[in-house]
Amino acid sequence: MRLFHRFSAVLLGAAAASLIFTGCGASKSPGSEGASPAPADQASVPAAQVELTVSAAASLTDALKEIQKHYEAKNGQVKLKFNFGASGALQQQIEQGAPADLYLSASAENMKALVDKLYIDASQQTPLLRNELVVVVPADSTAGLTKPEDLRGDAVRHVAVGEPQTVPAGGYAKEALTKLALWDTLQPKIVQAKDVRQVLTYVESGNAEAGFVYKTDALTSGKIKLAFTVDPGTYTPIEYPAGIVKTTKHGEEAGDFFTYLQSKEAQDVFVRYGFSIPE
């Protein structure tokens, strides 16, 4: 009987030892001898790309597309999306809630309107560029235009002008022609366009014998030639302000691009396309 009890005690002890061993073994996982392997390196995952919408005057198209290449090459986390058009139309879009992070206008008046209506903070806008108003004709034109008064001649049947209410170039043209007492006289010949680039297209295609565009636009096309430069004393100085729209959801990135537009690197591009920098 004593032998049976002793044998039972031995069996119970062995079973207990086996459970302890099993429990210890189960609590260990592969690699538990040291620190647990770190999850995939989260720091190496690229940050989500930010898309900035820039509403810009149509006359800035070529210069901004070149600037886009330079900027995105250095700032891979930012994608620039441009909304080109007439400055007045872009102003109206912003007022109506269209998404925009920055606004680049061809008219200080349009920028002032957005500042006055609190869509852009006065401290987050600045004069960026200047331009000149010129008259262009088709490359093969023999009209011989040298001054605004020549637009009254029989050789000119159509004069392309941006819509004065929404296209700053059209507004400057109307201002100059009014001061020269030509606006009313030329009304039967005037063909209005939705933006300055459409004016250029009308002249390139021969649908207009002359058109009012910016100096920078005249430099972009081989299908037209410069007839004459409009006297700058006949219209308000052409300024291009830039500003950050208050509703932007990417304030830091918008601020960085706003600053870059004022850098020497960006300004050199603008100058190459015919713009001048305000003193």
Q: Tell me whether strands 190-193 and 50-57 are parallel, antiparallel or unpaired.
A: unpaired
Q: Which residue has the tokens 């062995």?
A: 14
58 and 100, same domain (yes or no): yes
Q: Residue 271 annotated as binding? A: no
Residue 40 falls within a domain, yes or no? no
Q: CA–CA separation, 131 vs 179, rounded Å?
A: 19
What is the pLDDT of the chain when averaged over all its residues? 88
Cβ atoms of 257 and 52 within 8 Å: the answer is yes
65 and 152, same domain (yes or no): no
CA geometry: angle 54, 244, 212, nearest 5 deg: 55
User: Which residues contact residue 49 at a Cβ distance below 8 angstroms, ignoring those fewer than 6 apart?
Assistant: 76, 77, 78, 79
Residue 108 falls within a domain, yes or no? yes
DSSP state of 250: -
Q: CA–CA separation, 204 vs 183, rounded Å?
A: 23
Interval 30-38 mean pLDDT: 44
Q: Residue 176 annotated as binding? A: no
Q: Supply 64's token pair.
A: 């901004």
Domain that residue 53 falls in: 48-130+238-272
201 and 84, same domain (yes or no): no
140 and 116, same domain (yes or no): no
Q: Residue 107 annotated as binding? A: no
Q: What is the CATH number of the domain that holds 266?
A: 3.40.190.10
Q: CA–CA separation, 254 vs 258, rounded Å?
A: 6
Q: Tell me whether strands 210-214 and 238-245 are parallel, antiparallel or unpaired.
A: unpaired
Domain count, the chain: 2
137 and 218, same domain (yes or no): yes
Q: Residue 59 annotated as binding? A: yes
Q: Which of 102, 76, 87, 129 is nearest to 269 (CA)?
A: 129
What tens digit of pLDDT does each residue of 84-129 get?
Answer: 999 999 999 999 999 999 999 999 999 999 999 999 999 999 999 9
102 and 122, same domain (yes or no): yes
66 and 139, same domain (yes or no): no
Q: Which residues pair with 78 in a beta bridge?
A: 50
196 and 182, same domain (yes or no): yes
What tens digit of pLDDT does each residue of 177-216 get?
Answer: 999 999 999 999 999 999 999 999 999 999 999 999 999 9
Residue 48 has a pLDDT of 84
Q: Residue 87 annotated as binding? A: yes
Which stretches does DSSP call E strand in 35-175? 50-57, 78-85, 102-104, 120-131, 133-138, 159-162
